Amino acid sequence: MAPDDITLKLRDVRAASGLSLSKVAEMTGVSKAMLGQIERGESSPTIATLWKIAKGFQLPLSALIDTALGDPSVFQTVTFPGSIEVKIVFPFDPALGAETFHVNLTPNQSHESPAHAAGVTEEVFVLAGALEILRDQEWVPLQAGQGLRFAADMPHGYRAGAQGAAFLNMHHYAQHAEFFEQGKLSS
């Protein structure tokens, strides 16, 4: 997925909210200058920046990285420079309050994530390789065919073994499904 697909969704989300760049910067902790650069397609956001924006708007991540014209049968992949590759398997479904991603980590790659919005739970299921999950400040080892559920409203992380890792990552938003159901934004 090209960075301008992300740009379109951020612009759409901000327009739907009727908020200025200054107000969005206050809500998200992302500078007004960076938000403007993202909207104009002058800068590609990191996954951490997208999470800050999603958290500020109280939206699921796929609301920002799903394409405006996306075919739901075609999985969208976003590669964040110097970070992780995320493939949207199922964009946010308000009836389920969940979204699912397929994540690939290269050998020995790690990614630490700040806390998501209150009440967000993640489920990780390892498809290939070995993976460790940082949960409650401890690394929990998992092998292919194993899974783990944890509270994602606290810092957490993922670390691949020597062969790399592929895993499904499901996000459950207990408190935010009503945002979509009330028609404030459609995914």
14-34: per-residue pLDDT in tens? 888 889 999 999 988 999 999
Q: Which of 67, 95, 115 finishes a domain?
A: 67
Residue 100 belongs to domain with CATH number: 2.60.120.10
Q: Do residues 53 and 21 touch, judged by C-beta distance below 8 A? A: no
Q: Which of 18, 49, 67 is the last residue of a domain?
A: 67
The number of folded domains in the chain is 2
* pLDDT tens digits, 120-145: 999 999 999 999 999 999 999 999 99
* 182 inside domain: no
Of 14, 34, 67, which residue sits at a domain end?
Answer: 67
Report the pLDDT value the prediction gives residue 57, as an integer from 0 to 100.
84
Residue 183 domain-assigned (yes or no): no
Report CA-CA distances (Å) from 3 to 47, 67, 107, 156: 12, 10, 25, 26
Same domain? For 158 and 86 the reply is yes
Domain holding 172, by residue range, is 76-177
CA–CA separation, 49 and 55 (whole Å): 10
Please name which of 96, 77, 158, 163 lies closest in space to residue 125, comparing C-alpha atoms: 158
Structure token pair of residue 87: 């493939």
User: How far apart are the two ends of the chain, measured CA to CA in Å?
Assistant: 17
Comparing 120 with 174, which gets the higher pLDDT? 120
Which segment, 12-26, 104-118, 154-168, is predicted with the most confidence on average?
154-168
pLDDT > 70? residue 7: no
